[in-house]
Every structure is written in C-alpha cells, then in structure tokens.
Structure 1
Amino acid sequence: MFELLATIAAGTSGAGGVEAWLRVESAACARKVAAMAGLLQAAYAADGSADRDQWCLDNWDAVAAHIGAAQRITLHAASNQLLIAVALHERFPLVATVFAEGLITYQLARTVVQRGALVVDPSALHELDRLLAEALSNREPMSMSTLEKTVDAFVAQVDPQAVHRTETRARGRSVDVGDEDGSGMATVYATLFAHDAKAFDARVDALARTVCPADPRTLDQRRADAIGALSHGSDRLACLCESPDCPAGENPPSTGVVVYVIAHQDTVDERPAPPSPAPAPDLPDVPDPADDVSPGENAEPSGTCEGSESDSDERSSNVVTQSESRDRTANKPADERAALDGEPPAMFAGPLRELTLTEALTPAPGRLANLRPAALMGGQFLPGVVACRAAVGATITRIVHPGQAPPEPRYRPSKKLADFVRCRDMTCRFPGCRAPATNCDVDHTIPWPYGPTAASNLKCLCRRHHLLKTFWGGESGWRDEQLVDGTIVWTAPDGRTHITTPGSRRLFPELSEPTKTVQTSRVPLSHNGGLTMPRRKTTRAQGRASRIQREREREYP
C-alpha cells in the first residue's frame, strides 16, 4: 500500500502533490508506529520478561529508551509515542488500518487513543473502533476539534461512563515554564485561584518598588526581576542605581537556591568587582548525583581528597562555573545596564527618508555583543550579556582540565574532577536525553575497578539511563565506548550505533581536548554480580488500569 501511494504521489504536483505526499507521510508514520509496537512485543516475548515487568526500569522503559535513541528524543516523548503505538495496535486495529492507508494523520490517531482511553469493555471497545474507522474512512476530513466531538459522541454511545468530562478551570490550574529559546529569557504561564492571583500581583508590585527612584529599570522590568527574587526566597529587590549610599543597594540575603552557569573567563571578567573582595569558596558538593552508585552498589568509604592544583599534568582552563544563590550587588557597568535595563534606544539615528534601505533594515549592533556566550547546566544557550548579569555576586569556581594527569586512585571522583566532567558533558550522555548534568550520576564507562577514575572513563548519566546501562547492558544489550575527547559511542541491542558528543563542545571546545588514554584490565562478564534492580510494587499495566478505573469513577462538577 505504501509503495503504491508513493508511486501515485510521484506523478503529482501543485496542491494535488501536497495532498498526495501528505497521505504518503501519514502512511509512513503509521509504519513507524507499527514498528514501535513490534519492538515492545519482541521485548515481552524474550526470556525473563515477566520478571522484568517488576523492575523499576521495566520492559516498557527499555523499549522507550531504544526508540528515543533512534529518534534522538527524550525518554518521556518516546514513551508517549509507544503508548499511542500500543493502543492503536491492541485497542483500535481498524483505526490503525485507516492510518496505514494514509487517510488520517498521526495527530488524529493520537486524539482517538486519548479520547477513547477510558473504554475498557471489549465489546464496547470493538464497536467504538468500528464506528471511528467508518467515520474516518468515509466522511470528509476532520479538524482536531471536530474529531474530538465525534469521538466523544461515539464513546457516549457505546460507554457513557468513559466520556472525558470537561474539566473546570479550577481543576486545570497549573504553572508552566516555557522552553528557553536561546535569548537568555524564558516565559512563565500560570492559572491561579483569583484570590491567589491578586496576592501574587500585589506581592510582585511591592517587591518591584523596594528600589530607589534612580534605579534604571522600568516598572515592568522590575516586576519581572521581582518574580526572580521571589523564586530565590528574597524579601526585596537589589537596586541597580550604582549609588554607594543607596539604602536599597544592599544584597538581599543569600538563599539555598543554586543555578549553575558555565561561562568563559573573558565573559566573567566583564562583571564589576564586588565591593568587598573575598576569596571565592568552592562550589558546594552536589548531593547524590556526584556518586557513580547504582542501587545496591557499594559506595567508596568517606575521606576522598581533592586533586592537587599544582599537578604538573593538569592545566588550568579559562572556563568557570557560576553558582548563583540569589545574592546580587548594586554595582553594574553602564554599558550592560543600557543593554538590559531601561527604555530601548531609538531604532533609527535619523528620519527614515534620510536612510538607505540597508540602513533602515540593519539593526544597530547590540552592546556587549562581542562577549562569548555561556550556557546553563543542561545546555541551554545564555548570551554573554545575560551571563555577565548572572555572575554578579555569584560564587566563581575555576574548572581545571585534567590534561594528561594520571587517574585518581579511588572509586568516587574528587569534586574537581566531577565538576570538570559535569561542565564538559552538561547533560546526560544517552542519545536524546536532556537531563542536566547536576541531576546525573558520574558513571564509569568501563566499570571500576577494571576501568580507572579518569576523565576519559567518566561521563554523566541520569539515573534511568544509568540503570539501563547497568541492568540492560552486556553482550546483547546496551554497550558504550568512550573516546579521549569525551565522545561516547553507544551500541544498541540491535547493533545500531549512536554517537553523542559533550554538550560543551560548541561553546567551550577547550573542555573536549583529549585527556589521558584509559588503561584497562579485562572486564569479567559477571562484574555486576550482587547488584539488584529496584523493583516496583505494582506493574505498569496494573497502575494504568487503576488510574483508568479511578477516572471512570470520578465525580465531575
């Protein structure tokens, strides 16, 4: 069928070509979805799969990780696609056939699965599948809104208790933080109770007015900064007037909120010197993620020591990490203030009639645009001018590249080495995963003690992918190889390879300079002996059935 559709589309053009290739695209997507369902079926058919359903990282997670690596998407996104694939295959086979013919898009197929999720009676589900397949095959193309109403009408016909009731505004309240877009800014959307919204508005306004009249920011800018102050637990906003005797210019008290920013030394040096210079303390130890310890694995005894700063084999890097705990100073450089605060400058230097077309269309170069950009831990891009603002009052820790230094003679890496690995990697190194390195384990690629504790043998893995490597690895599972520049070559269970490079390579290539080559001894096949996978109290299927039952019995207003 797919080959026939592709052949027909090849001979079309114009609007007809758009429609024909859209059908080919949908049919190809249906094949991809069917392959996902087949991958899960193969996992369930393997020996020991019933026991692995009780694992914390079960068959479903292992298949989702495989799908995520193939598409370079997160585990959550891959798991959602797998859910749609399995539901089409097992619950809506007739709709899946319509999908395979390219008559509906993936978005419409997903809507059918979501709106019909609460139907559990087999006969009712079969009738719903038949009605939907007939409607989607014979009627005119439907919009998403029309399809939702159609599915709800059919669900009400076959199983009234399975209709998704319309949620009230109160039940749908939420706070969403939009994805960072590379500008150094993010957007927050919130739906609150009316009385809480009034209180929030008053609180933000009051914080915005704790500065003196000479502060260069507009009220809107101060209200935005006040939300940041609230997030860090501060009770006032630091004034940016630069006056030494300003009563509002003192730093708000430091809180326990920590934000990690990786920046080049040149960028950090643009910040003004703090009023009272003091030696910068080391970054506080990040709890738990620094340990390369899987559940059930023995940790190293306490008493680890930091690597020597005077080691002749180590070389200093100009990359630093900033640990910002909300303490900000009032002293700001004038050019940065002009770039970030106050009213925007005039768009044109003269009347438009006196400008050439090129002058009118070319924006003025931004101030501090020559500063090297920085990045948040997690890989989000941060313009240099915003990193300069973040550096004010922050704790600065220099990141030391280990160079050709010998391995550390212990299981757990020193804080200095762990900091380097996290700043080099920025995120979990599994294909498609974007978990920040601060939330990851520092994993030995070749397990200790057969592999050394050295930068060339250490990488960041989130806990889920750490468990995946440990318990779903081996000769027939996931295998990884690490190169001296931090590149990881992953081999999937099907033999396909996926390559991931350190997240810092684009902005801070100096962190990916080669480190000492790893010398290893032969790793026995039973090196994970004694480790046990954490287990679930109920299987994934049992939990899903329980949630559906609660949803069907819920009383809606």
Structure 2
Amino acid sequence: MFDDLVNATAGTSGAGAVSAWTRTESAACARKVAAMAAMLEHVYAQSGSADRDQWCLDNFDAVAAHIGAAQNITPGAAFHQLLTSVALHERFPKVAAVFAQGLITYALVKTVVHRGALVVDPDALRRLDALLAEAFADWEPRSVDKTEKAIDFFVHQVDPQALRRDETKARGRSVDVRIEEDGSGMATILATLFAHDAKAFQTRLKNLAATVCPGDPRTADQLRADAIGAVGTDRMACLCGNDDCAAAQNPPATGVVVYVIASDETLAEPTETSDSEPPAPRPETPAPPPDTLVETGESIAADECAAIDGVEPRLFDKPLRDLTLTELMTPTPGRLAKLRPAALMGGQFLPGAIACRAAIGATITSIVHPGQAPPENRYRPSKKLADFIRCRDMTCRFPGCRVPATNCDVDHTIPWPHGPTAASNLKCVCRRHHLLKTFWGGENGWRDRQLDDGTVIWTAPDGLEYVTTPASRLLFPELSRPTATVRVRDVPASHTAGLTMPRRKNTRAQDRADRIRLEREAPPMD
C-alpha cells in the first residue's frame, strides 16, 4: 500500500504533487507510529516485564527514552508520541487503518485519542472507532475547534458520560514562560490569573520600577519589564552610573539562582566570589593582551549595555530623500554583536550585553579547565571539578534530553571505583536517564563510553549508536579541550548488585484508570 502511494507521486507536479506527497507523508507517519507501539509490545513480551511495571522508570518510560534517542527529541515529546501510538492501536484499530492509507493526519489522530480517552466500555469504544473511520472517508477541512466538536458529537452518540468537560476560565489559569530560540536572549511570559491578583501584580511592578533614581536611562516600559525579573527581590538595580546614587547603595538580593556561563572578555569587571552565596559559573579563558582587555573590552561592554536601554535611536542619520539605494538596503551594523555571547545553564544563547546586565550584583566563579590533572581520589567530585563538568555539558547528555545540568547528577561513565573521578569519565545525566542507564543497562541494554573531549557515545539495546557532544562546544570550545585519558581497572559485568530501582505505588495503567474514573464522575461545569 505504501509503495503504491509513493509510486503515485511519480510524474506529478504543482498542487497534484503536494496532494500526493501529503498523503504519502501521513502514511509514512502511520508506519512510524505503528513501529512505536510494536516496540512497547516487544518489551511487554519479555521475561520480568510485569514486575518492571512497578518500577519508577517502567517499561513505558524505557521505550519512550529509546524513541526520543532515535528521533533526537525531548523525553516529553517522545512520551506523548508513544502514548498516542499505543492508544491508537489498542483502542482505535479502524482509525489506525484509515491513517495507514494516508487519508488523515497525525494531528487528527492525536485529537481522536484525546477526545475519546474517557470511553471505557468495549462495545461503545468499537462503535466509536467504526463511526469515526467511516466519517473520515470524506472528512472535510475543519478548524481545531470544529474538529473537536465533531469528534465530541460521535463520542456523545456512544457514551454521553465520556464527553470531556471544558474547563472554565478560572480553572484554565496558567503561566507560560517561553525562552526565545532566536538567540536574542529574550523571553515571553503569558499569564492568565485572577483579576485581583493581576491588579496587585501591576502595582508591585510599578513600586519596583520606582526604586531606581530618576537618572536611570530605561523607559517606563523597560523598567516594568525589568521589574518582572526583580519580583523575587526587594528592589531593582539602578543603572544611572552615578557614584552618589542613593538607589545604587542598596543592591538587590535574592535566594533565586540563575546560572550564566560567560567568558572573561565578556564580563569586563568581574566581582569577588563569595562562599556564602550560590555561584554563577563562567568558563576561564586565556586572558587577551592587557591593552585589549582594558581599553577595548570595558568600552565595548559599557556601550553595548547602554544600547539595550532607552529610546530606539534613529534608523538613519540623514533624511530618506538624501539616501542612496545602497544606503537604504544596507542594514545598520548590530550594536550588540561585538561582545562574545554567553549562555544560560541549559544551552540557551545569551548575547554578551545581556550577560553583562545579568552580572550586575551577581556572584562570579571562575571555571578552571582540569587539563591533564590526575583524577581525584574519591567518589564525589570536588566543587571545582563538578562546576567544570556542569559548565562543559550544560544539559543532560542523553540523546535529545535538555534538562539543565544544574538539575542533573554528575555520573561516572565507568562506575566508581573501577573508573576514576576525572573529567574524562564524568558527565551530567538527569535522574531519569541515570536510572535508565543503571537499571536498563548491561550487555543487552543501554551502554555509554566517553572520549577525552567530553563526547559521549551511547549504544541502545538494539545496537544503534547515538553520539552527543557537550552543549558548550559551540560557544566555549575551550571547555572541550581534551582532559587526562581515563585509566580503567577491571570492570565487573554488573555493578548494580545491592541496588534496587525505586518503585511506584500504582502501575501506570492503574493511575490512568483512576484519572478516567474521576473525570467521568465529575459533575458538568457551567
């Protein structure tokens, strides 16, 4: 069937080619989804799988991790793909057949799985599957809202109690923080909250903005925006630059820690390190010539920090009628591109000027590259070595995982004491993937090996290899300079003797059944 769809695209062009390849794309996606369901079925068929359903990292999690590595996507995205694939093939086989023909899209399949999740009676579920498969034969384009309502109509036909309740506005309140992926170093916050809380928040921002002196160069909008970042403090840092500014004598203080990795030339005036405050690490780099650091670095930092405040300057320095076509078409050189960029712990790009702004009042800790230093004679790495590992890796080193290194374990690739506590044998792994490596590892499970430059090569249970490199390599390649080669002692076949996987109280299936029961029994909302 799939080969026929591919052959049907031959000789097509224009809208005909778009239509033919769209159907082929959906059919290919259906086969990918079927392969995911088959992977989970294979794991369930293995010996001991019933006991592993009680594991904290159960069969489902292990398969989702494998799917995420294969596609280089985050664990959350892989988890939802596997959830959809299993529900489709176990609950909606006729809809799955229509999907395999390329007649519906993956987006529509996800909607079917979600809107029909509360149907539990087998006969009702079979009727719903048949009704939807028949309707999809001549399904016309619909908006997301109309699609959900149409599927809800069929759900109501077979089981009125299985309709998913729409949340009221009050129950739908939320806060969404999105860090922009365009390298601007900016983020967008979207919040829906109670009106009285919004009014109080608005007043709080106004009061925080008023803690700076009148000489601060920022506009009212910029002050309110920066006040959001200062919500956890009692006041804002004044940027007027005057030595006698009363507002600057009382700098902000907070218990919230945000780790920023920056080079020495970006932060022209490093502050003293305090052992009493959590560090904000930065990599140590070879110092440039003194005249470059003092005469150029500081002036660049001052100019670029000032460039992000105040009113937007004029685009051109003369009237438009006096400009040539070349001048009109030539963009103004970026004022924020001279300083070396920095990064948040987690890998998000941060322009140098914004890194300088983040350094105001922050604790600065120099990161020391271990070079060819010998390993440390203990299991837990020193703070200096652990800081280096976290700044080098920035994120969990499992394929596709983006958990920030500050939320990860520092893991021995070759387990201690057979492998040393050295940079070439240490990496950051989140707790989920640490458990995966420990309890789903071995000869037929996940295995990893590490190179001297921090590169980690993962071998999956099916023998395929996935290579991950430190997230700092693009911005701070000096952190990936090779460290001392690991000297390995005799490693036993298994190092998990005496260790037990944390267990969950209920299996995943039991938790899902409880959620469905509670939602079905909930009274309709006005």
Partner residue in 1 for 2:401? 433
Contact 1:127 1:158 in 2 (8 A): yes
Partner residue in 2 for 1:119? 119
Contact 2:375 2:420 in 1 (8 A): yes
CA 1:499–1:284 in structure 2 vs 1: closer, same or farther (change >3 Å)?
A: farther
Partner residue in 2 for 1:211? 212
Once the two structures are superposed, residues 421-460 of structure 1 have per-residue CA deviations (whole angstroms, 9 ceiling, x without a partner) of 1100000000000000000000000000110000000000
| Whole-Å separation in 1 of the counterparts to 2:472 and 2:392 | 5
The residue type paired with residue 56 of structure 2 is: C
Contact 1:5 1:24 in 2 (8 A): yes
The residue type paired with residue 273 of structure 2 is: A
Partner residue in 2 for 1:31? 31
Deviates more, 1:27-36 or 1:140-149: 140-149
Partner residue in 1 for 2:246? 247
CA 1:471–1:220 in structure 2 vs 1: closer, same or farther (change >3 Å)?
A: same
Shift of 1:63: 0.2
1:280 aligns with 2:279: no
1:530 aligns with 2:498: yes
Partner residue in 2 for 1:485? 453
| Whole-Å separation in 2 of the counterparts to 1:353 and 1:168 | 56
Which of residues 390, 411, 427 is equivalent to 1:443?
Answer: 411
Aligned length: 510
Shift of 1:253: 4.2
Shift of 1:251: 3.5
Shift of 1:337: 4.4
Once the two structures are superposed, residues 308-334 of structure 1 have per-residue CA deviations (whole angstroms, 9 ceiling, x without a partner) of xxxxxxx96459xxxxxxxxxxx9965
Partner residue in 2 for 1:326? none
Shift of 1:390: 1.1
The residue type paired with residue 133 of structure 1 is: A
Shift of 1:252: 3.5
| Whole-Å separation in 1 of the counterparts to 2:14 and 2:329 | 34
The unaligned stretches of length 5 or more in structure 2 are: 288-298
Contact 2:452 2:485 in 1 (8 A): yes
Contact 2:264 2:284 in 1 (8 A): no
CA 1:97–1:208 in structure 2 vs 1: closer, same or farther (change >3 Å)?
A: same
Contact 1:242 1:332 in 2 (8 A): no
Shift of 1:180: 2.8
Shift of 1:205: 1.4
The residue type paired with residue 386 of structure 2 is: A
Q: What does 1:436-475 align with in structure 2 at a 5 Å threshold?
A: 436-475=404-443
Q: Aligned-residue CA RMSD in angstroms?
A: 1.8
| Whole-Å separation in 1 of the counterparts to 2:359 and 2:252 | 16
CA 1:122–1:548 in structure 2 vs 1: closer, same or farther (change >3 Å)?
A: same
The residue type paired with residue 274 of structure 2 is: P
Secondary structure of the 1:442 match is strand
Partner residue in 2 for 1:308? none
Partner residue in 2 for 1:132? 132
The residue type paired with residue 72 of structure 1 is: N
Secondary structure of the 1:178 match is strand
| Whole-Å separation in 2 of the counterparts to 1:525 and 1:96 | 43
Deviates more, 1:31-40 or 1:398-407: 398-407
Once the two structures are superposed, residues 348-397 of structure 1 have per-residue CA deviations (whole angstroms, 9 ceiling, x without a partner) of 11122222233213332233421110000000000011111112221111
The residue type paired with residue 467 of structure 1 is: L
| Whole-Å separation in 2 of the counterparts to 1:333 and 1:55 | 52
The residue type paired with residue 349 of structure 2 is: F
Deviates more, 1:245-254 or 1:27-36: 245-254
| Whole-Å separation in 2 of the counterparts to 1:503 and 1:333 | 25
| Whole-Å separation in 2 of the counterparts to 1:391 and 1:316 | 16
| Whole-Å separation in 1 of the counterparts to 2:104 and 2:348 | 36
1:220 aligns with 2:221: yes
1:421 aligns with 2:381: no
CA 1:438–1:227 in structure 2 vs 1: closer, same or farther (change >3 Å)?
A: same
Deviates more, 1:390-399 or 1:340-349: 390-399
| Whole-Å separation in 2 of the counterparts to 1:368 and 1:15 | 44
Partner residue in 2 for 1:293? none
CA 1:399–1:139 in structure 2 vs 1: closer, same or farther (change >3 Å)?
A: closer
The residue type paired with residue 74 of structure 2 is: T
CA 1:189–1:535 in structure 2 vs 1: closer, same or farther (change >3 Å)?
A: same
Partner residue in 1 for 2:185? 184
1:62 aligns with 2:62: yes
Which of residues 367, 380, 398 is equivalent to 2:366?
Answer: 398
Deviates more, 1:349-358 or 1:256-265: 349-358
The residue type paired with residue 222 of structure 2 is: Q
1:514 aligns with 2:482: yes
Partner residue in 2 for 1:351? 319
The unaligned stretches of length 5 or more in structure 1 are: 287-314, 320-330
Secondary structure of the 1:335 match is helix
Contact 2:347 2:395 in 1 (8 A): yes
Contact 1:411 1:453 in 2 (8 A): yes
| Whole-Å separation in 1 of the counterparts to 2:342 and 2:476 | 9
Secondary structure of the 1:268 match is coil
Contact 1:238 1:250 in 2 (8 A): no
The residue type paired with residue 64 of structure 2 is: A
Shift of 1:461: 0.1
Which of residues 380, 397, 405 is equivalent to 2:348?
Answer: 380
Partner residue in 2 for 1:261? 260
| Whole-Å separation in 2 of the counterparts to 1:197 and 1:316 | 43
Contact 1:40 1:59 in 2 (8 A): yes
| Whole-Å separation in 2 of the counterparts to 1:337 and 1:78 | 40
Q: What does 1:121-200 align with in structure 2 at a 5 Å threshold?
A: 121-181=121-181, 182-200=183-201
Partner residue in 1 for 2:296? none
Contact 1:216 1:241 in 2 (8 A): yes
Deviates more, 1:255-264 or 1:236-245: 236-245
Contact 1:282 1:397 in 2 (8 A): no
Give the alignment's TM-score, normalised by structure 2: 0.94
Q: What does 1:85-124 align with in structure 2 at a 5 Å threshold?
A: 85-124=85-124
Contact 1:240 1:332 in 2 (8 A): no
| Whole-Å separation in 2 of the counterparts to 1:68 and 1:533 | 22
Secondary structure of the 1:41 match is helix
| Whole-Å separation in 1 of the counterparts to 2:303 and 2:83 | 52
The residue type paired with residue 45 of structure 1 is: A
| Whole-Å separation in 1 of the counterparts to 2:448 and 2:302 | 50
Once the two structures are superposed, residues 281-337 of structure 1 have per-residue CA deviations (whole angstroms, 9 ceiling, x without a partner) of 358679xxxxxxxxxxxxxxxxxxxxxxxxxxxx96459xxxxxxxxxxx9965234
Partner residue in 1 for 2:467? 499
| Whole-Å separation in 1 of the counterparts to 2:14 and 2:335 | 47
Deviates more, 1:29-38 or 1:366-375: 366-375
Once the two structures are superposed, residues 255-299 of structure 1 have per-residue CA deviations (whole angstroms, 9 ceiling, x without a partner) of 211111111110011x4x76xxxx42358679xxxxxxxxxxxxx
Partner residue in 1 for 2:292? none
1:412 aligns with 2:398: no
| Whole-Å separation in 1 of the counterparts to 2:185 and 2:445 | 39
Secondary structure of the 1:397 match is strand
| Whole-Å separation in 1 of the counterparts to 2:221 and 2:503 | 50
CA 1:332–1:200 in structure 2 vs 1: closer, same or farther (change >3 Å)?
A: farther
Secondary structure of the 2:512 match is helix
Partner residue in 2 for 1:363? 331
Deviates more, 1:380-389 or 1:344-353: 344-353
| Whole-Å separation in 2 of the counterparts to 1:333 and 1:76 | 39
| Whole-Å separation in 1 of the counterparts to 2:245 and 2:405 | 39
Secondary structure of the 1:264 match is coil
| Whole-Å separation in 1 of the counterparts to 2:247 and 2:386 | 39
